[in-house]
Amino acid sequence: MSLKERLKAFIKTTLYPFQQMGMRYIKRSKGRILVGDDMGLGKTIQVLSWLAVNPSKKPVIIITPASAKYNWEDQIKEHTKMKCVVLSGQKPYPITESIAIINYDIISYWKEDLIKFKPCVMVLDECHYVKNRGTKRTKTCKELSRKMMCVVPMSGTPLINGPVEFFPVLNMIDPKEFSSFWKYAFKYCDPKPGWRGRGYDFTGASNLKHLRKRIKPYFFRRTKKQVLKQLPEKRRTILTIDINNTKEYFQAKENFLEWYKEKGNKITKKLKRAQAWVKLGQLKQLVAKGKLKTACQWIDDFLSSTQEKLVVFVYHRKIFNKLIEKYKKIAAVGGKAGKERQRQVKKFQTDPGCTLFIGTIKADKESITLTASSTVLFLELGWTPSEHDQAEDRVNRIGQTDNKINMYYMLGKNTIDQHVWEIIERKRKVINQIMGGKSRSHTHTSFSNIIRLLKGK
């Protein structure tokens, strides 16, 4: 069966030509290569497609940051016919599928069970998470890699500060070629005596042309500019994450449903609806509070691992203020009026040191230009499709040909976020079919649908 026939048989999605070429790179390396494409070019689907057309390469463990593990699950369901399980918590339990997805934070607790799982392939998503040799997660991943037939690291920025960070990943890909850290460090890390003669400082760089030539068989990378013509204008990605206040959220949800049930006809329907919308907003804010830690980690990773600027949209003032407090040294701030807002926008557009714009969906979805960025993170959702379309367009200028836009929507797993998104997307499709374009209608999210979904119906 040819590759084209296998893709048709095992993959639900049509790959871009450069993504098919990425699959071929992985195949030629016998599953031992670093996928280094720019952010947004589909590293995930390239690796999944390679796995799907090679069903004998199982079991598989996919190790990823916590913020991305449910995205992997969603991508597997959307693009392939494979099945997977997401592992959670520090206490291991039986692994029920041939593909197991786990986050770096808990990998050391699962080490023995993962060894018993007898995986054939290990995928290291955002492999710069294992750049430090001395951390427990790096040591665990290294030990696991010795049991694998294939090791496929992924990162648009595997090397953030210097060559020393690249060694752990190269050692996992080919432990024979990169067997000695000391030989590698003395050749490529410009060693200097440590403070007061203690040890060595390996934060430098040396013999880079030779290193580039040496790593060529273990690394491929395409930039956005190289494949720009193949990309769609916009790409929306859902980042489903666990919230860290699950108990508080579910208690609040039960309290809301109990309140709604008890009120019945004791108050007018109009007043009841108004109060209920306020309470639903409080549920959304509670979810945002539970996402904040992971969202900040995602923002930090983006800013430290790319040379790009980022726009973040939120909905509630409390969440807005918490982000401003954390990022006030590098951020321009929306939500203002008149000249001050334009001053903040100009700062973001022109100041190289200002790498983040924090805006509110209500106040900043119109009449400003944020085209210094091509990436938007929605930490919270509004209530209508049009709010998001308008906010997205702040970075997407008409007739733009020199860049393509990535939109990330961070949703709390098993929360009101997913219910609202489901309804918004359903409305977006209906509106687009009627209007033949973007969701400019301000059709509001259905109240009754939200109540029904919260009840699990």
Per-residue pLDDT, averaged over 119-147, amounts to 94
Q: Does domain 3-229 have CATH number 3.40.50.10810?
A: yes
d(CA 181, CA 158): 17
Tokens found for residue 38: 């720019």
In Å, how far are 225, 290, 447 from 418, measured between CA atoms?
34, 14, 14
Residue listed under structure tokens 């067997």? 179
pLDDT per residue over 411-434, tens digit each? 999 999 998 898 888 877 776 666
Q: Which helix (H) or strand (E) holds 361?
A: helix 361-364
Q: Is the pLDDT of residue 346 over 80?
A: yes
Task: Please report the pLDDT score of residue 39 as a whole number.
Answer: 83
Contact 325, 314 (CB under 8 A): no
Contact indicator for 226, 39 with CB cutoff of 8 Å: no
- State the pLDDT confidence band at 335, using cuts at 50, 70 and 90: confident
How many C-beta neighbours within 10 Å does residue 215 have?
21
> What angle do helix axes 416-435 and 447-454 make, rounded to 10 degrees?
140
* Residue pLDDT, tens place only, 150-182: 999 999 888 778 899 999 999 999 999 999 999
Q: At 124, is the secondary structure helix, strand, or coil?
A: strand
CB atoms within 10 A of CB 352: 8
Q: Reading across the β-sheet that carries 234-241, which strands appear in turn?
A: 234-241, 405-412, 375-378, 310-314, 356-360, 331-333
Round to whole Å and give the CA distance between 323 and 311. 12
DSSP letter at 394 equals T
Domain spans in the chain, listed from the N-terminal domain onward? 3-229, 232-454
160: left (phi over 0), alpha (psi -120 to 50) or beta: alpha
Predicted confidence (pLDDT) at residue 116 exceeds the cutoff of 90: yes
Q: Tell me: the pLDDT tens digits for 66-92?
A: 888 999 999 999 999 999 999 999 999
Query: Dihedral of CA 390/392/394/400: which sign?
Result: negative
**What Rg, from alpha-carbon coordinates, does the chain have?**
24
User: Which residues have C-beta within 8 Å of that of residue 318, sequence separation ≥ 6?
Assistant: 285, 289
Q: Do domains 3-229 and 232-454 have the same CATH topology?
A: yes
Cα separation, 7 vs 241, in Å, equals 30
Question: What is the pLDDT at residue 444?
Answer: 52
Structure tokens given for 438: 């973007």
How far is the C-alpha of 457 from the C-alpha of 455, rounded, in Å?
6
Taking 90 as the threshold, does the pLDDT of residue 249 lie above it?
Answer: yes
Sequence-separated (6 or more) residues with CB below 8 Å from residue 343: none
The whole-number pLDDT of residue 443 equals 45
Q: What pLDDT digit, counting tens, does each position of 283-304 carry?
A: 999 999 999 999 999 999 899 8
**What digits encode the pLDDT tens for the residues 183-229?**
999 999 998 887 766 788 898 999 999 999 999 999 999 988 888 88
Extract the tokens encoding 357: 């714009």
- Is the dihedral angle over the CA atoms 366, 368, 374, 378 positive or is it negative? negative
What pLDDT is stored for residue 436 in this prediction?
A: 52
How far is residue 218's CA from residue 149's CA, in Å, rounded to a whole number?
15
Q: Could you give the CA distance from residue 264 to residue 298 in angstroms, rounded to a whole number? A: 42
- Give kind and range of the element (H or E) at residue 187: helix 181-188
Q: Which of 457, 420, 449, 443 is nearest to 285 (CA)?
A: 420
Q: Do β-strands 60-64 and 34-35 pair in parallel, antiparallel, or remain unpaired?
A: unpaired
* Nearest-angstrom CA–CA distance, 182 and 186: 6
Domain 232-454 has CATH 3.40.50.300: yes
394 C-beta neighbours (distance < 10 Å), count: 23
Helix axes 416-435, 385-392, angle to 10 degrees: 80
Q: How far is CA 247 from CA 250, 336, 379, 418, in A?
A: 5, 35, 20, 17
**DSSP 8-state assignment for residue 410:** E
**How far apart (Å, rounded) are the C-alpha atoms in residues 284 and 249?**
9
Each residue of 33-67: pLDDT tens digit? 999 998 888 899 999 999 999 989 999 999 999 88
Tokens at 430, concatenated: 């209906």
Q: How far apart are alpha carbons 70 and 154 in whole angstroms? A: 17
Choose from 31-40, 367-376, 393-402 the range with maximum mean pLDDT: 31-40
Residues for the chain: how many in total?
A: 457
